[in-house]
Chain A
Amino acid sequence: MQTESMTGRPPSDSPRSRGKSETRVFRSSDSELRKMSEWFRRFAAESGLPEGRALDLELCLNEIVTNINHYAYQEGAGEHDVRVTIERKDGALEATIEDDGRPFNPLDAGPLQRPESIEASQVGGWGIPIFRALADEVRYERRGDANLLTLLVRDSGKS
């Protein structure tokens, strides 16, 4: 697997080719989200991922990293590193998000309940249902002190 170092250096050739990947490390702060989105959109466009599918994966990444920023660490723990790797696969884009927060497998979360009414409906808790609905595959692994969540979005997938 080719992996670009985290120096902000652009890839030397188009990531359209299978196996091309890039990794970036972001601080666990919501102020980093747009920077992550901009980086992802550039990679997705260069890799030829259809626009609708790129939007799907961009939203998945936003939801996952927002969850990490808000819930993975104890209050006052300061900012941690969130490592995001995206890789062009054959007919798909794969993203892996790694954090060193408390163990959390989002695949253990139950399905979203149908709200009875707007008065009874919850505000929040939508991040996991969103990325589980949009991604074609989701895998979770606890490796040492790290959570690794991997999502696959196919070129011709759900959207």
Chain B
Amino acid sequence: MELTYEDLEDGVRTVRLVGRLDVEGSQEIDLKFTSLTASHQACVIVDLSLVDFLSSLGLGTLVRSAKAQMSRQGKIVLLAPQPHVARVLQNTRVDEVVDVFYDFEQARRAVRTASGPRG
């Protein structure tokens, strides 16, 4: 599992995950992902477009950070899950509490609106 991130000029952070977000994958990225997405108030887009497998433990990694960010008045949204990953989000009803977008600019506007523009 690979994790890369970029901080955009408007304060939005994009985190891109690549690979299998299964038990092993979530263990590989959990510490870094939590540090990047939950340790302080932030507007975060998690790009799932290159995640080809999502299990419930991997989902826990995403939802824990989304909960933490909400308590800090920040926001996490998910971007472009592949169909199989999107079905997992639907079947677990996580997509009812964490917004999912398929367009980057829409995702960017949504996280900025939620927390207000910074910097």
CB within 8 Å of B: which residues of A? 30-31, 33-34, 37, 52, 55-56, 58-59, 62-63, 66, 112, 114-115, 117-119, 121, 123-124, 126-127, 129-130, 133-134, 159
* Residues of A contacting B24 in the complex (Cβ-Cβ under 8 angstroms): 30-31, 33-34
**Chain B interface, DSSP helix/strand/loop, else mixed:** helix
Q: Do B56 and A127 touch across chains, with their CB atoms under 8 A apart?
A: yes
Contact with B55, one of A66, A117, A133 (Cβ below 8 angstroms): A66
* Residues of A contacting B20 in the complex (Cβ-Cβ under 8 angstroms): 34
B77 to chain A, nearest CB (A): 11
Contact with B93, one of A56, A58, A59, A112 (Cβ below 8 angstroms): A112
Q: Do A119 and B56 touch across chains, with their CB atoms under 8 A apart?
A: no
* Residues of A contacting B55 in the complex (Cβ-Cβ under 8 angstroms): 59, 62-63, 66, 130
Instruction: Kindly specify which of B2-10, B33-41, B83-91, B100-108 makes contact with the partner chain.
Output: B83-91
Size bracket of the B interface: 20 to 34
**Chain A interface, DSSP helix/strand/loop, else mixed:** helix
Complex CA gap A134/B90 in Å reads 11
B110 to chain A, nearest CB (A): 14
A20 to chain B, nearest CB (A): 25
CB nearest neighbor in A for B55: A62
Contact with A66, one of B53, B57, B91, B96 (Cβ below 8 angstroms): B57
B60 at the A/B interface (Cβ < 8 Å)? Answer: yes
B64 at the A/B interface (Cβ < 8 Å)? Answer: yes
Q: List 8 A-B contacts (CB under 8 A).
A: A33-B23, A63-B55, A66-B56, A115-B96, A121-B97, A126-B94, A129-B91, A130-B55
